[in-house]
Structure formats: structure tokens, C-alpha cells
Structure 1
Amino acid sequence: MSKETSIELLEQETVPDDLILLIREIFKTDRFGRPVVTDGEILYNGYQLLKQMPHALEEEILYYRFYKDREQRYEALIAPHMVDLKPQPFNMGSGPDSKYLYCGEEPSHSVRLSPYKISKIPVTEEIYHEYNRSYEVSGSRFPVVNVTWYDAFMFAVWCDAELPTEAEWEYACRGGINGPFFCAEEHLAAHAWFSENSKGSLHEIAQHSANPYGLYDMLGNVWEWCLDTYDSEFYHKGDVLNPVNLMVPGNKSCRGGSFHSFTDMCRPAFRHHEPASFYAYDLGFRVSKR
């Protein structure tokens, strides 16, 4: 069955028997607990549909298949790379007097976050390969790239983690520094691979200095998918506590800049966005856990 036919079935409002059979097929796993179907968009559509189905069906298909052993996967693949953050209120976004100021960054506003964990490195090819065996690994210490938002979201679900919200990502990136960067602008090359020092190439993780929270590559090297749907006006209407925009449809937010980016894009406040089905060789992700 083609991807287009599968998605058409998954978008039906009723739950015919052939749809249930399709979802069972979609969420099959191999003997190591890895999904057989690795197309993130198909998995995501099935995942959302299961949330609307009777609990017994959701339990059979998700809890005894896709979720099975995910706590152990988290401990083995993700937990060694996680950093605990106990956030203080911080100013998210950019003020009108900022040196760099782009659409969607205003107004600067106070945000409070509950404690959470975030990975100190982007998810690597080696880690992602444990989920998707068809993903070609060029080196164990390169960040995974060419993954859609759907791919990133479903990988996080599979290993009992989440994508960080924009607010969580920005707080982590700032490292407790209330300024345009977490370092002096002239020292950015000591922390990030970007247009001035990358020579147009992707680099291995953690080759530069960490930010004040011990997180690597928050700026530059690869853009990182966030959980939020992008809205340029969200800062005018978002919650003060744990803000996140889960409205659909819409492009998904990505943060941090990449090895192609100029200095002004490699800032904690800079907001970028792409369709959820978009993928690129300078776009990856890291995970969080609340």
C-alpha cells in the first residue's frame, strides 16, 4: 500500500476494520522492539488516530508494541546524555532595542518553566540508527540529519522522551545569560559551527565548548526541531507558565542555526520554521523529558 493511500485511510473519521488492520501493520516491531514502518508521517497519523480510539485498542497497538520497553530504551540511549534543569523565570524573545531583531521574536516576555531534562547533544546518527535501521550512518558522532519533524517526534515517543518546546529550547540555549548570545558575539566561533568557521560542512558533535549549562551545539551545526507549531504572534498570547503552541496545521519551529547560518541566525531568540514533512542535511533535533 502506498504512503498516500495509507494516509488517506488514517485520515478517515470512522474506524472500519481495514483501518484497524492497517494500524496494526503500521505499529509492528521487530524482535528488538524497533518499528518496521519508519516513515514518521505515517506513524504520526496512526499515533494521533489511536488517541481517539477505544483504550483497549490503543493499549494493544501502542503499549504492547511501539511503547514496549521504551523506559529501558530511554535509560540505554538517552539518559546518559541528559542534563537536569531547574529553571528560574527568564525573558524569552528579543526587545525592541536588540541589535538583531526578526519577525516572531517580539515582545520580550517573562516565562516560567517546570523542571525538565534536555540532552546535552543533538541526537546522533548512531542513536537514531537504533530506531531506524535503514538510516545510513556516516559516523557515530555526527548529528542525525535529513529527518522530518514527524520522524523526530516519533523517535522521541519510541524512547520515552519528547521534543523540547521552543521555551525549553531557548531557556537551555541561553544558559542563564540574558543577552543576544550566551557568550560574547566575537567568541561565537568557540561554541558553534556556522558560516564563518564551518567551511560549509557538517561537523561531529561536541567539538566546541559547551554553553554555561553544559550543553553542546545549541547554536550552529544543525537546526533543531522543536515541539511547537510556529506562530509569529504567539509571544503576544502564549501562557506565562510552560508555553507551547500545539495548534495544527502549520509549520513546525526549529531553532539554533546551522553550519550554513550567519551570526544573526545563531542566537537563542532566533525563530525559524519549516513544514513538518521537510527534511534537510542541516536539520536535526535533540530531546527533552518532563
Structure 2
Amino acid sequence: MYLCYIDESGTGQTLNPAVPDSVPVLAIGGFTVPERQVGALAWDFIELKKKFRPALRKDLPLTQVVHHEVKGESLRKSFRRKGRKQQRMAHGFLTHLLRILEQRECTVLARIWVKQDGVVYDDTAMYASAVSALCADFEHYLTERSSSGIAVLDSRNPSDNSHNVHCVTTRKFSADGDQLPHLPESPVFGHSNTHLGLQIADLLVSAVLAPSAAVTYAGDLHGNVHCDPGYVPVRDRHCPQIGKLQHRYQLPGGKWSGGVVVSDGRGRKSAGKLFASPAVADGAPRAGSGRRVSPSDLATVASVPDASAPSP
């Protein structure tokens, strides 16, 4: 049995380059972990939280330590600040976290959308499309291991939750047969303050992948808080580690899939830009037309790591 924890960072709201806090990317992803490693992973993460937050080293109930979250948003603030001590602590935390994931046989998977200026996106459809794609990647991972698995999503609200998994449910109970036979149930939902796996997924997506993608693919948005220069070291230090943790595989036609997939609506750059050293954001942005864009439209620009990325 394997577990897959999934969280998101960003929104599908229209990107306005004139607004400093307009969000340029939507990242949805997380990691897989073998059931036999779940307990060890949890205790490793608890100890890491105690090391990072000295207040948690006191004689506190375990529930209080679990409930206390080190949020990806907090680490992003540390990277934007000028204090070198805070930056070093935040980088050290992520370095140790990724090392733990490697030791506990975890793999990373994600879908990232980079938005065009002024384009109206369908947030609900984007999230559902990402969940469906990630479950397909998880299914392939489970098939290779002749095992079963459960996907756990960070709970949003009842309406969003139902939309996010309905596409997976229909694939499982299709008249043409179960397309996800190694997932005995559609994704279930949890709350991050009680699920350590969801806390880790938040850190992967919110503290590493989303800011790294923003500074790589939307670096032309000068003055945008999500494209702060402080995120460049995040990408250059931690994305290569994530690159090594990807589960990637070839489809029957020879195309690579899985791992971290980027749909760059601005410059059509490959996902390999995240893993290159250094990754350079180049090319002019593509202005939007004000029309609505669906996940199927974005699929035409979905990319995979190029030759500069770690081998799958």
C-alpha cells in the first residue's frame, strides 16, 4: 500500500501584471510514500519541526506538536526578507525535508500552470484536471509495484471537494471498465492540522514549486511579490533535489510523463527550466485575449524536463 498526499498553491484568478500581488501560477502536487515508511516519515518530520521551532521542544502533548504547522507561506516570507539568518534557517529546513523524503522512498509529482496576462481561467476545471492527471501518474506508479494506494487531498470546502474528485470517480466506474484499478477508492480529504503528510505536501508545493515556477516562468513581472528575487536560490538549491525524486515514465508513444509537469502559457518554456542550474527565465510573455482558457487548451503546452534536467 502507498499513500499520496496532494495540496495546492496559487489560484486560477486572472493575472493582472499591474497588481503586485496578482498570482502568476497555480501549482497542485505532492508526494507518494510507502505505507511501511509512513510512521518513520511522520516522526522524522516531527523532529524536524522541533528543530526548526524551538518552542516545540518543550514538554508538549503530541497533538499540539502535530497541530503546529510550518507553512510554506511562512518560509516564502523568510526568503523575501533581507535577514540572512532567517533565509539560512528556511533553506536548511527544506534541505532536511527533501533529504527525509529521499530516505523514506518518497516520490514527487505535480502539475503547474503559468498564466498569461488578462486571461480568464476555469479554476475548478484546472484543479479537477490536475487531480485526475496526478491520480493517473499514481496509478502507473502503483502498477509498476503491483500494489494499491490511496490519494489524500487537502480539504477545501464541500462544493470544491466534490468537483475535484468527480472526474476520478467516473474513471473508476466507467462503463468501459475501471481505469484506475490500483486505487480502491477515489481521493479522500484530510485537514492539514491533523495530517502530517498534507503539511509536507504544502511545503513542497507552496515553499518550493510555486515560488520557483513564478520566478522562472513569470520573472518578467517586475514588482510582483510572487516573483521576488529571493526565490531564485529556492529554485537553484531545492528543485534539483526534487528533480531526483520524480516518478517519470514513458507512454506507449514514447512521450515522457509523470513527475513535475509545467504548462507555460507565457513563454512555452520546458519544465526543465526548473531543474537547470541555473534556470534562466527568458522569452517574452504572451499577452492574453480575455477569453476563457480550459485545462484542455493548456494541455497543448504541457512540457517535460529537457535534456538539462535530471534523467528520469
TM-score bracket for the superposition, by shorter chain length: under 0.3
Higher relative contact order (CA 8 A, sep 6+): 2
Which structure carries more strand by proportion? Answer: 2
Which structure carries more helix by proportion? Answer: 2
Q: Structure 1-normalised TM-score? A: 0.28
Q: Structure 2-normalised TM-score? A: 0.27
